[in-house]
Amino acid sequence: MYMYIIYMFHKAKTEKERQKIFDEYLLGILKKKKVIKTNKKIIDESGFSFDPDADNKQLKGAFNNYVDTLVVKNYMIEQLQTRLKISKSLSTQFVNKLNGNQILILSKNFNDFIKYVDDNHNNINDYILMSSFNNLQKDYNITIQKEKNMEVI
């Protein structure tokens, strides 16, 4: 690629053509840098990110220490991935969003949660869509009720 640019640069006859080739070359380099930066950001955010200082404020005695929490989180990620047949990144993102008390509740009722999803839905996506629709419907009903209250006033 670099040799091609040099060849094209020397082949250009006017300063304007050379400037255009040089600008395109720099633009290509900047685009590559941006792609690399974006990919690095995605990689940094997709891993198992656990900040013990931030979660210690939320734990409130749910687990004895960081290692206990880490073990429970890894177990839940593995189980979600294998039993619900979802990607590791999706299960990791879900578990990492839970605070210490939510992890404790889910760990105590984990088998019930998995069984509920398996029994009542074809797959995890059905469960997600139904939960999202129920939230939407609840918000819609609240909005309609507020409008009715405003009409009464």
Question: CA separation (Å) from 105 to 25, 68, 96, 100?
Answer: 55, 14, 14, 9
45: which 2 tokens? 């955010």
With 0-12 / 13-18 / 19 or more C-beta atoms within 10 angstroms meaning exposed / middle / buried, residue 107 is middle
Note whether 60 and 90 are within 8 A (CB).
no
- Residue 108 above 50 pLDDT? yes
In angstroms, the CA 68 to CA 72 distance is 6
pLDDT digits (tens, 9 = 90+) for 121-150: 777 777 776 777 777 788 888 888 888 888
pLDDT digits (tens, 9 = 90+) for 59-102: 445 566 777 788 888 888 898 888 888 888 888 888 888 887 88
- Residue 38 above 50 pLDDT? yes
pLDDT at 59: 46
Q: What does the angle CA 28 – CA 30 – CA 32 come to, to the nearest 5 degrees?
A: 70
pLDDT at 13: 81
Note whether 100 and 69 are within 8 A (CB).
yes
